[in-house]
Chain A
């Protein structure tokens, strides 16, 4: 299946997030159990076309976060049918907000070179190297922020995304002449940070999984 590896990595990322909520004594076992089901779902011919298998696999992985919800103060599984923990609901809401923002950031980050080429070709005065330098600096700042202040990641991402959306709305409705260059700068700065925070999370998860694996062997 095309893109299977990437899909599995995304599923494993979600499963890792879920497993982190579990007590230490069951965490690794549950992670292995859930992660082992992902390829089985992705290759299940009874589900039909690849896109449906991919959606089912991602749905499975996402729902393990609900499976890992714990009743406060109790080392015991709490299913959805046992009543919801308000703190878990808040965490879930944060994730639902953060994930689209991070994905949008990643897309914008990846499309930045095309935007820069477009602006340079228009003679908008935004040099390629200065823009790349600024983006690099911001990526470094984002890495450090994510490294030392991981709890701020959500707040930073939300503020950046919100600012960008407000600006985009204002620029398009008012017809600002400086729209495209400023948009490029904000994309380079804001979405660079967003994408970095998201990639940082993926990297940290991968490192932790590898450490767990090494420790077990």
Chain B
């Protein structure tokens, strides 16, 4: 698991229920847009992250896309980050790409 992926997952885990916009995640995780969006795309393809559109309450503002960890995503993130903290290496899960391929 790469550093940017770790930081993005940690940012998600800070508040699981809060919708996170791309720019918020960039700030929280300290990654650039060129790194973040491919990462989010793959996490979403793997069912670990879900996304939706937030309609702004103020007139004239554009709808923004937000992201949240799914239940499975939160569980996987916690396990993988805990493994890393313990100094272990995450194994590949059946039917899923290895964590290395996620980012």
Chain A interface (Cβ < 8 Å from any Cβ of B)? 29-30, 32-37, 39-41, 44, 46, 59-60, 63-67, 69, 76-82
Q: Verify B35–A80 contact, CB threshold 8 A.
A: yes
Q: Verify B23–A79 contact, CB threshold 8 A.
A: no
- Determine, out of B62-70, B76-84, B86-94, the stretch whose residues face the partner at the interface: B62-70
| Partner of A33 from B32, B38, B61, B65 at Cβ < 8 Å | B65
Chain B interface (Cβ < 8 Å from any Cβ of A)? 2, 4, 21-23, 26-27, 32-39, 41-42, 45, 61-65, 103
Complex CA–CA separation, A34 to B38 (angstroms): 13
Q: Verify A33–B64 contact, CB threshold 8 A.
A: yes
Number of A-B contacts (CB under 8 A): 73
| Partner of B62 from A30, A36, A78 at Cβ < 8 Å | A36
B100 to chain A minimum Cβ distance, whole angstroms, is 10
Q: Verify A36–B34 contact, CB threshold 8 A.
A: no
Residue from B36, B38, B63 with most neighbouring chain A CB atoms (10 Å): B38
B74 to chain A minimum Cβ distance, whole angstroms, is 22
Complex CA–CA separation, A137 to B45 (angstroms): 52
Q: Verify A79–B64 contact, CB threshold 8 A.
A: no
Complex CA–CA separation, A28 to B73 (angstroms): 26
